[in-house]
Structure 1
Amino acid sequence: MNLRRKLTSLLIILICCLGHSQSIDNSELKVFLKKHVSNEGFINYEKLVRNKESLSEIVLGLSKLTPNTTWSKPETKAYWINVYNFNMLKLVSDYYPFKSIKYIQAPFNIEFININGQKVSLDDVENIIIEEIGDPRMYFALNNTSISAPALSREPYTAETLDTQLEFAVKNFINDSSKNYFSKTTNEAILSPLFKWHASHFEDLSAFINKYLEGKQITNQTKITYSSFDWTLSKESY
């Protein structure tokens, strides 16, 4: 599909859909995450594959809940985060075993997510729909199964708890020394490439980081470099 046409179509899905208010029941999502994700955010991939039927039903249910003008902003934000994370799990369950999501050819560009009758990709959700929403905290809630990615929450995102969940996700990611390094002796920082990929969404990167950073603050004079993203599958032994 032509990129301009796709952008137009996705923005229509995002902000222009009309319809009746729909009840959002996250109970199945919650049960599924509790069964397949550890407290540290590690996914039990073998168990995930064994229960891919249940996962398919969850993804199908999400596809029938298209945001419309009756939805609040928190409902819309929570919905798209859950759509991304559960469809990522669905993609993994279809291809596993592998050592990295990159073993799948162009995984983020596969148009397999059904939204309002249109097939979109993970990249579309992250870089068109979520980008248009304009809340950079959402990027820290998206898990792509890689070591360098934000941890997958054991709780689905909900409108009622969204702000608390997003604040926790950002704080957890920024203060994870395996993701970001802040020198205690020099004015240097090595950041996750996630900050570089979405640089245009951080008006003042230092201020954004300092809001969540525990310990020494950074400044606009801090020498910032970016680490390499480790696409190896994030996994622990069960």
Structure 2
Amino acid sequence: MKNSALKVIAGLLLANNVAAVEPDWKDYASVLGAVKQGEKHGTPLAIVDYAALKKSGLVDKVYQQISAFPVESLSGRQETLAFYINTYNILALKTVVDHWPLDSIKDVGSIFSPVWGKDAGTIGGKTVSLDDIENKIIRPMGEPRIHLAIVCASVSCPDLRNVPYTASTLNKQLDAQANAFLRNDKKGLYIAKDEIVVSKIFKWFKQDFDKVGGVDTFIRGYRPDLPVSYPIDADIDYDWSINALNN
């Protein structure tokens, strides 16, 4: 009995100390490392050179890696969130690269068949769309900060982070993304004469922020400097232009 108990305890300790099972993000880090800060239509943002990515074939290489990754090996919430945030961003990059040149990612689809619902790739043996990744996998996990981390290849989207998301650093990375977005006065937040105007992201996904006290509470958590009496209005115009300089 004593030996059996010791084995159980040892097993639990080992299980708790097993390293996170995640893909090797080295090639994806190379893609992100080439993203440069710039400006388009007066908005500061992370600029992607899609022409160079198409020529290099690196995005497709990264896609093949995540497509072959055994998603059943993802054992925890942080691992799963990090994997699928990266996956969404990779599939968005792939969508643009595969159809380059484009003025907007929305040009891949149409009014009757939006790009978000189109097949974007195969993950875990299943064909998925960007909508599947966002709305069927990530959003149900109850983390509103993902809306400031997944990037739809557009000027008004949150910026692509210059390194991949990982389980061990995810919380700090998501906080940094939220902070950066809410300090970009061209697409995240600006103070008007008698109100605080923020991205329409906070209108489209309002219910997700209700889980953390609502949009107002969430935003003021990152911007405690905001006038207390000013209401928040999610009404910054959304620029769907591609996040590249050559369009």
TM-score, normalised to structure 2, is 0.79
Shift of 1:228: 2.8
Note closer, same or farther for the CA distance 1:70–1:143 as it changes in structure 2 (3 Å cut): closer
Distance in structure 2 (CA, Å) of the matches to 1:29 and 1:121 = 20
Distance in structure 1 (CA, Å) of the matches to 2:124 and 2:156 = 32
Distance in structure 2 (CA, Å) of the matches to 1:120 and 1:104 = 16
Higher strand share goes to which structure? 2
Residue 96 (str. 1) matches residue 96 (str. 2): no
Note closer, same or farther for the CA distance 1:56–1:189 as it changes in structure 2 (3 Å cut): same
Residue in structure 2 matched with residue 157 of structure 1 by the alignment: 165
Residue in structure 2 matched with residue 48 of structure 1 by the alignment: 53
Contact between 2:49 and 2:244, CA under 8 Å: does it hold in 1?
Answer: yes
Identity %: 29
Q: What RMSD over aligned residues (CA atoms) do the two structures have, in Å?
A: 2.0
The structure 2 residue matched to 1:133, chosen from 129, 141, 145, is 141
Distance in structure 1 (CA, Å) of the matches to 2:119 and 2:85 = 17
Distance in structure 1 (CA, Å) of the matches to 2:28 and 2:189 = 33
Contact between 2:203 and 2:234, CA under 8 Å: does it hold in 1?
Answer: no
Note closer, same or farther for the CA distance 1:182–1:63 as it changes in structure 2 (3 Å cut): same
- The alignment of Structure 1 onto Structure 2 pairs a total of residues equal to 213
Does the residue aligned with 2:185 lie in a helix, a strand or coil?
Answer: coil
What are structure 2's unaligned runs of at least 5 residues?
1-19, 38-44
4+ residue stretches of structure 1 with deviation over 4 A?
none
The structure 1 residue matched to 2:175, chosen from 167, 173, 177, is 167
The structure 2 residue matched to 1:234, chosen from 204, 222, 243, is 243
Residue in structure 1 matched with residue 218 of structure 2 by the alignment: 208
Residue in structure 2 matched with residue 30 of structure 1 by the alignment: 29
Distance in structure 2 (CA, Å) of the matches to 1:218 and 1:57 = 48
Does the residue aligned with 1:160 lie in a helix, a strand or coil?
Answer: helix
Distance in structure 2 (CA, Å) of the matches to 1:101 and 1:70 = 30
Contact between 2:95 and 2:105, CA under 8 Å: does it hold in 1?
Answer: no
Deviations 1:122-178 (A, max 9, x none): 011112211111101111111111111000111011112111111010111111101
Alignment of 1:111-150 (within 5 A): 111-150=119-158
Does the residue aligned with 1:112 lie in a helix, a strand or coil?
Answer: strand
Alignment of 1:191-206 (within 5 A): 191-203=198-210, 204-206=214-216
Letter in 1 for 2:36: S
